[in-house]
Amino acid sequence: MEDCIFCKIANGEIPSKLVYEDEAVAAFYDLTPQAPIHVLIVPKRHYADILEAEESGAPLNQMARAAKTIARQLGLEENGFRLVINTGADGGQTVPHLHMHMMGGRAFGWPAG
Ligand code: 5GP
Ligand code: ZN
């Protein structure tokens, strides 16, 4: 997908602080972190959002698996973390490439504001 910032980050066209990569997924630090650790996990294939992701849920499985690996890698297993997928206008999605926020290193309240 041309002109998609997360496609460009995922394929290395734009440099980022890469945390994790496999054949299907890339993960890198958020530019504007909302927590001491704030990583974005994205499928390498372009989907605008979760509604566009395949019926099989394959990209979501791959992202969730990456989150488990990253949790181990960054020491988030003990205290936990938050995973968020913003979708559309009401969801507050600003980048139209499916992504999962992984945030840790502090406690979050619920419900989110
Ligand atoms: P959304 O609001 O769509 O759920 O999340 C988009 C996230 O992408 C935001 O947290 C924002 O800080 C992050 N972001 C936007 N542009 C860039 C970028 O060029 N590089 C990185 N690493 N993060 C970005
Ligand atoms: Zn994209």
Q: 110 in a domain, yes or no?
A: no
Beta bridge partners of 44: none
Q: Is the CB of 30 under 6 A from ligand 1?
A: yes
What is the rounded CA–CA span in Å between residue 97 and residue 3?
Answer: 11
Q: 59 in a domain, yes or no?
A: yes
Per-residue confidence (pLDDT) for residue 2, from 0 to 100: 78
Give me the CATH number covering residue 28: 3.30.428.10
- Token duo for residue 101: 């926020």
Per-residue confidence (pLDDT) for residue 57, from 0 to 100: 87
Per-residue confidence (pLDDT) for residue 111, from 0 to 100: 85
Residue 1 scores a pLDDT above 90: no
Q: 21 in a domain, yes or no?
A: yes
Q: Is the CB of 94 under 6 A from ligand 1?
A: yes
Q: 54 in a domain, yes or no?
A: yes
Q: pLDDT digits over 24-47, tens only?
A: 999 999 999 999 999 999 999 999
- Token duo for residue 10: 């995922």
106: pLDDT confidence band, cut at 50, 70 and 90? Answer: very high
Q: 113 in a domain, yes or no?
A: no
Q: Is the CB of 86 under 6 A from ligand 1?
A: yes
Q: Is the pTM of this model over 0.75?
A: yes
Q: 112 in a domain, yes or no?
A: no
Q: 17 in a domain, yes or no?
A: yes
How many structural domains does the chain have?
1
Do residues 23 and 78 lie in contact, with contact meaning Cβ atoms separated by under 8 Å?
no
Per-residue confidence (pLDDT) for residue 113, from 0 to 100: 59
Closest listed ligand to the CA of 43 = 2
Q: 111 in a domain, yes or no?
A: no
Domain range for 37 = 5-104
Q: Which of these, 95, 75, 79, lies nearest to 87 by C-alpha position? A: 95
